[in-house]
């Protein structure tokens, strides 16, 4: 049948460990990604160029004229809405 003799020889423990990883690792990763998406739903998204320009203006990295120029450029070259 299974030829169980009560000892772990010839790497049986290694194959059992690999099989346990193949079962539990995907399940744990799935749970981790699900929890991450529930806790921080917008964390994986990148900010739009307009958002980046607003943040730079708010931080004082660019002046008002540069901010308005960037916003005009972005609106002129924006893709059509879907």
Other CB atoms within 10 A of residue 79 CB: 5
Q: What is the pLDDT of residue 63?
A: 96
For residues 46-56, give the mean pLDDT.
86
Q: How far is CA 13 from the centre of its chain?
A: 34
- Give the whole-angstrom CA distance, residue 48 versus residue 16: 48
- Average pLDDT over the chain, rounded to an integer: 83
Task: Look up residue 4 and give its two tokens.
Answer: 């169980």
Q: Residue 61 belongs to what H/E stretch?
A: none
pTM passes above 0.85: no
> Domain residues of the chain, as ranges?
1-45, 47-82
User: Is the pLDDT assigned to residue 55 strictly greater than 90?
Assistant: yes
For residues 2-24, give the mean pLDDT.
78
Q: How confident is the model at residue 43 (pLDDT cuts 50, 70, 90)?
A: low
User: Is the pLDDT assigned to residue 44 strictly greater than 60?
Assistant: no
- Give the whole-angstrom CA distance, residue 32 versus residue 26: 10
Give the closest residue to 16 by CA, choosing from 4, 28, 33.
4
């Amino acid at each position: 049948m299974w030829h169980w003799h009560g000892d772990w020889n010839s790497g049986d423990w290694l194959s059992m460990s690999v099989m346990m990883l193949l079962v539990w690792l995907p399940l744990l990763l799935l749970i981790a990604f699900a929890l991450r998406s529930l806790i921080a739903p917008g964390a994986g998204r990148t900010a739009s160029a307009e958002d980046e320009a607003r943040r730079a203006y708010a931080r004082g990295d660019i002046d008002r004229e540069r901010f308005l120029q960037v916003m005009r450029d972005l609106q002129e070259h924006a893709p059509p809405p879907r």
